[in-house]
Amino acid sequence: MSETTYLVTVSGPDRVGVGAELFAALASLSAQGALLSDVAQITIRNALILCGEVTTSKSISVEQVRQALSQRNMVGEGIEVSVEVVQNTSEVKGGRTLVTLLAPSVSADQLHQVFAGIAQTGSTCERIVHLAKRPVDCYELVVRSPHPDDLRALMSTISRAAGLDVAIQREGLHRRAKHLVVMDADSTLLQDEVIDLLAEVAGCDKAVKSITERAMAGELDFAQSLRERVALLQGMNESVLDEVRRKVRFTPGAETLVRTLLHLGYVPAVVSGGFEQILAPLLDEIGVRFLRANTLEVVDGVLTGQVLGEIVDRPGKARALKDFAQEVGVPLEQTVAVGDGANDIDMLSVAGLGIAFNAKPLVQEHADAALSVPYLDAVLYFLGISRDEIEEAKLG
């Protein structure tokens, strides 16, 4: 015998107990072979829509379902209940894809462009979750798509035209299982380029800044450019390291990001082309235990203008991410990398999720997602972490 699916929709002002009443009514139908097959609910400003599906192969009429509902205290006080027979198969085949989009404020026109793109690829949106309203506006869409690659490409084009930051990921527990989050330091976790701050004290800031910009744009080999910049610091007293460390500023949202990751059991880490003597004390203060960075050579309390050991460059950052993943005990698919410069590209490509943070177009092309807002904790939304969870971590 073929199966019949009934969709029961409860709508009206939200009130205590309405869910209990609905499921008690649906449970009473189990004696007639009706099994609960799906549930969905949305509440906006105390307006409730609660849906329950029951499926049965036995002969149950719509009227019998309505009678079961009428025996509960469901209707009244503005609450309405409807019952309809629905098809048991989805019109759209394919897997589910998560589309996370954010901006300082998401407009109806921006959502129109996104949903028009979803329709253009033959996809449908099954669920919308409003992850955050401040300091950015963020929505997460669960989209069923028969052509996920087409959806990804079109969403990338639409996001640029609409002024949205968008991340496209396969839905599943793996998204919340990304246990290792590796961040670049300069211009990502930190607002500043540390080498530039050192150069200001040494009086060679213009020369160093010019080399830095060319390196971050991918025009120079990073290792060579770093040696050239560090050489300009020769003869400085090592006390300058403490002076510069006091000037370094965390990016807005950086401390919130790390605190929330630690609260939820993630492992934050930093891989930087900067300097361990500056970074290690700063990271210790916020609870980051994993760090790989360059080490300035100091002899008799004076900087020699040399870097000790192997330089942490573009391939070195990717190696560090792999090493951290092995040490933490997670596969690369469960890692996240966040960076802004050309020397972050390999790291972003290797990670399960690579996020370009206020990065140049060259870097964005190699990332899975891009953020253009100035708040580093917006990374959390691409992991499906809501603003409420972030606030809870703050209290904890």
Least confident range from 137-151, 163-177, 354-368: namely 163-177
Contact 127, 86 (CB under 8 A): no
Question: Token digits for 308?
Answer: 């000790």
The yes-or-no answer on residue 186 being catalytic is: yes
CA dist., res. 247 & res. 199, Å (int): 13
Concatenating the DSSP letter of every residue in 326-363 gives HHHT--GGGEEEEE-SGGGHHHHHHSSEEEEES--HHH
The CA distance from 315 to 241, in Å, is 27
Residue 37's pLDDT is 87
Strand order from edge to edge, sheet including 4-13: 35-44, 47-56, 4-13, 80-86
Catalytically annotated residue among 109, 150, 165, 186: 186
Catalytic residue among 14, 150, 165, 184: 184
Q: Tell me how far apart the alpha carbons of residues 261 and 34 are, in angstroms, rounded to a whole number.
A: 43
- How many CB atoms are closer than 10 A to CB 17? 11
Instruction: State yes or no: pLDDT of 174 exceeds 60.
Output: no
Beta strands in the chain (DSSP E): 4-13, 35-44, 47-56, 80-86, 95-103, 124-132, 137-145, 165-170, 180-183, 267-275, 290-299, 302-308, 335-339, 353-357, 369-371
**pLDDT(36) > 80:** yes
Whether 184 is a known active-site residue: answer yes
Q: What is the distance between the alpha carbons of residues 345 and 355, in angstroms, rounded to a whole number?
A: 10
Query: Is residue 212 a contact partner of residue 229, using CB atoms and an 8 Å limit?
Result: yes
The band of 192, judged by pLDDT with boundaries at 50, 70 and 90, is very high
Tokens of 185: 């330091």
Weakest-pLDDT range from 163-177, 267-281, 377-391? 163-177
Question: In 3D, which of 194, 251, 268 has the Cα closest to residue 376?
Answer: 251
Residue 131 tokens, joined: 């992850």
Residue 273 — very low, low, confident or very high, per pLDDT cuts 50/70/90? very high
What DSSP string describes 125-163?
Answer: EEEEEEEE-SSSEEEEEEEEES-HHHHHHHHHHHHHHHT
Share of the chain above pLDDT 90, in %: 68
Alpha carbons 146 and 332: distance in angstroms, whole number: 27
Rg (CA), the chain: 27
- Give the pLDDT band of residue 222 (cuts 50, 70, 90): confident
* Nearest alpha carbon to residue 108 among 152, 164, 45: 164
Q: What is the mean pLDDT of the chain?
A: 91
CA–CA distance, 388 with 134 (Å, rounded to integer):
11
Query: CB atoms < 10 A from the CB of 272, how many?
Result: 27
- The pLDDT confidence band at residue 1, using thresholds 50, 70 and 90, is low
In the chain, what are the domains? 4-86 (3.30.70.260), 95-171 (3.30.70.260), 180-395 (3.40.50.1000)
Average pLDDT over every residue of 331-356: 95
Q: In whole angstroms, give the CA distance from residue 273 to residue 344.
A: 9
CB 57 within 8 A of CB 87: no
Give the pair of three-digit tokens for residue 260: 């929330």
Question: Are residues 162 and 171 in contact, defined by beta-carbon separation less than 8 angstroms?
Answer: no
pLDDT tens profile 283-315? 999 999 999 999 999 999 999 999 999 999 999
Over range 141-153, report the average pLDDT: 92
Cα–chain center distance at 152: 16
Q: Which two tokens stand for residue 30?
A: 């189990």
Helix, strand, coil shares of the chain as percentages rounded to 5?
40, 30, 30
